[in-house]
Chains A and B, each alone.
Chain A
Amino acid sequence: MTSGYIGVSVERDDLAFLDGTACYVADVDREGQLYARVVRSPVAHARILDIDVAEALAQPGVVAVITAADIPETRIPIRLPMAETPYTHLFLQPPLAREVVRYVGEPVAVVVASDPYLAEDAAELVDVDFDELDVVSDILSATTQGTPLVHAEAGTNIVATVPLGYGDVEAAFARADVVIRDRLRMHRHTAVPMETRGLLAEMDHGTGVLTLWGAAKVKHFTRSALSSMLGIERHRIRLVENHVGGGFGVRGEPYPEDFLVAFLALRLGRPIKWIEDRAEHFVATNHAREQEHDLEIAATADGRLLAFRDRAWCDQGAYVRSQGILPALLPALHLPGPYRWEAFSVETRGVLTNRTPVGTYRGPGMTEATFVRERMLDKLAAELRLDPAELRRRNLIRPGELPFSFEPAPITYESGDFPAGFEHLLDEVGYDDLCKQRQVRRASGEHVGIGFAAYTEIGAIGPFEEARIVPRSDGRFVVHVGVASLGQGVETVLGQIAAEKLGVPMDAVSIDHHDTEKLADGFGAFASRSTTLAGNAVALAAEDLRAKAAARLDVPAGEIRFVQGQVREPSGRTIPLAEVGEGRGRFDKPHPTFSFGAALSLVSIDRETGLVKVLRHAVLHDVGRAVNPELLRRQLAGAASQGIGAALLEELLYDEYGQPQSTIMADYRMPTVEELPDIEVIVEERPNTANPLGVKGGGESGMVGTPAAIANAVADALGVEGARVWRLPLTPDRVREMLRHH
Chain B
Amino acid sequence: MPHVDQHLSGDWLEADESVRIRLVANDQELPVEAPPRCTLADALRDNGLKGTRLGCEQGSCGACTVLLDGRPVRSCLMLAVQAEGGRLETVEGLAAGGELHALQRAFHDHGALQCGFCTSGFLMLAAGLLREEPDAGRERIREVLSANLCRCTGGGPILQAVLAAQRELRGGRG
Interface residues of A (CB under 8 A from B): 11, 14-24, 26-27, 60-61, 115, 117-118, 121, 191-196, 243-246, 248, 275, 277-279, 486-489, 630, 634, 637-638, 640-642, 644, 664-666, 670-679
Contact of B150 among A24, A194, A665 (CB under 8 A): A194
Whether the pair B151, A17 counts as a contact (CB closer than 8 A) is no
Chain B window 53-89, contacts with chain A (Cβ cutoff 8 Å), 1 for yes, 0 for no? 1111110110100000000000000000000000000
Residues of A close to B111: CB separation below 8 A:
630, 634
User: Most chain-B CB neighbours within 10 Å: which of A121, A673, A674?
Assistant: A673
| 7 further A-B pairs in the complex, CB-CB below 8 A; given A19-B92, A641-B154, A677-B156 | A26-B53, A194-B55, A278-B60, A487-B113, A666-B60, A672-B145, A672-B148
Report how far A14 CA is from B156 CA in the complex, Å. 18
Chain A nearest CB, measured from B81 CB (Å): 15
| A194 B104 Cβ-Cβ under 8 A | no
Find chain A residues with CB under 8 A from B61 CB.
194, 278, 665
Q: Cβ of B117 and Cβ of A277 under 8 Å apart?
A: no
Beta-carbon contact of B94 and A19 below 8 Å = yes
Q: Which of B51, B60, B115 contacts A19 (CB 8 A)?
A: B51
Contacting pair A665 B156 (CB below 8 A): no
The answer on a CB contact under 8 Å between B120 and A193 is no
Verify B95–A193 contact, CB threshold 8 A: no
| Complex partner residue of B51 from A21, A664, A674, CB under 8 angstroms | A21
B19 within 8 A of A: no
Counting chain A CB atoms within 10 Å of each CB, the highest count among B35, B117, B153 belongs to B117
* Chain A residue at minimum C-beta to C-beta distance from B100: A18
What chain A residues lie within 8 Å of B40 (beta carbons)?
Answer: none
A-B contact count (CB 8 A): 170
Of the candidates A23, A60, A244, A674, the one whose C-beta lies within 8 Å of that of B115 is: A244
Q: What are 26 A-to-B residue pairs whose CB atoms are below 8 Å?
A: A17-B115, A18-B107, A19-B92, A19-B94, A19-B100, A23-B50, A60-B16, A191-B151, A193-B115, A194-B117, A195-B115, A196-B55, A245-B55, A245-B116, A275-B54, A278-B60, A487-B152, A488-B114, A489-B114, A638-B114, A641-B153, A641-B154, A673-B146, A673-B158, A675-B146, A676-B155
How far is the CB of A301 from the nearest CB of chain B, in Å? 42
Contacts A20-B120, A194-B118, A665-B58: A246 and B155 contacting too (C-beta < 8 A)?
no
Assess whether B146 is in contact with A18, with CB atoms less than 8 Å apart: no
Q: Please give the distance in Å from A287's CB to the nearest CB on chain B.
A: 16
B123 at the interface (CB under 8 A from A): yes
Chain A residues within 8 Å of B154, by CB: 637-638, 640-642, 644, 671, 673, 676, 679
B28 → chain A closest CB, angstroms: 15
**Chain B interface extent, by class:** 35 or more
Interchain CB contact under 8 A, A18 and B113: yes
A24 touches B53 (CB 8 A): yes
B142 interface residue, CB < 8 Å from A? yes
In the bound complex, residues from chain A placing their C-beta under 8 Å from that of B143 are 674
> Given the complex of chains A and B, what is the CA–CA distance between A671 and B156 in angstroms?
11
Q: Smallest CB-CB separation from B143: which chain A residue?
A: A674
CB contact between A117 and one of B37, B50, B55, B56 (< 8 Å): that residue = B37
> By the criterion CB–CB under 8 Å, are A246 and B50 in contact?
no
Contacts of A644 in B (CB 8 A): 154
The chain A residue sitting closest to B147, CB to CB, is A672
B50 to A: closest C-beta gap in Å: 5
A673 with B156: in contact, given A194-B61, A195-B117, A489-B114 (CB under 8 Å)?
Answer: yes
CB-CB nearest in chain A for B153? A638
Expressed in whole angstroms, the minimum distance between the Cβ of B58 and any Cβ of chain A is: 5
Q: How far is the CA of A26 from the CA of B58 in the complex (A)?
A: 17
> Do B51 and A634 touch across chains, with their CB atoms under 8 A apart?
no
Q: How far is the CB of B40 from chain A (nearest CB, A)?
A: 14
Question: For residue A631, which residue of chain B has the nearest CB?
Answer: B111
B interface list, Cβ under 8 A from A: 15-16, 35, 37-38, 45, 49-58, 60-61, 63, 90-92, 94-95, 100, 104, 107-108, 111, 113-120, 123, 142-143, 145-159
Give chain B nearest CB distance to A143 CB in angstroms: 34
Residues of B near A192 (CB, < 8 A) are: 151
Q: For residue A676, which residue of chain B has the nearest CB?
A: B154
Given known A19-B100, A277-B57, A634-B111, contact A24–B153 (CB-CB < 8 A)? no
A674–B92 CB distance below 8 A: no
Which B-chain residue is minimally distant from A19 (CB atoms)?
Answer: B95
- Name which residue of chain A comes closest to B160, CB basis: A678
Residues of A within 8 A of B117 (CB): 24, 193-195, 245-246, 487
Q: Is the CB of A634 within 8 A of B114?
A: yes
Q: Is the CB of A14 within 8 A of B113?
A: yes
The chain A residue sitting closest to B110, CB to CB, is A634
Q: List the A side residues contacting B156 at CB < 8 Å.
A: 637, 641, 673, 676-679
Residues of A within 8 A of B116 (CB): 14, 16-18, 22, 243, 245, 487
C-alpha gap A193/B57 in the complex (Å): 14
Contact of B151 among A15, A248, A488, A666 (CB under 8 A): A248
A674 with B37, Cβ < 8 A, contacts A246-B152, A278-B56 known: no
Task: Closest B residue to A16 by CB, please name it.
Answer: B116
**Is B53 touching A195 in the complex (CB atoms < 8 A)?**
yes
Whether the Cβ atoms of B92 and A672 lie closer than 8 Å is no
Compute how far the CA of A676 lies from the CA of B52 in the bound complex, rounded to whole angstroms. Answer: 26
Which residue of chain B lies nearest to A26 when distances are taken between CB atoms in the complex? B54
Nearest chain A residue, comparing its CB with the CB of B139: A674
Please give, as numbers and ranges, the residues of chain B lying within 8 Å of A488 by CB-CB distance: 114
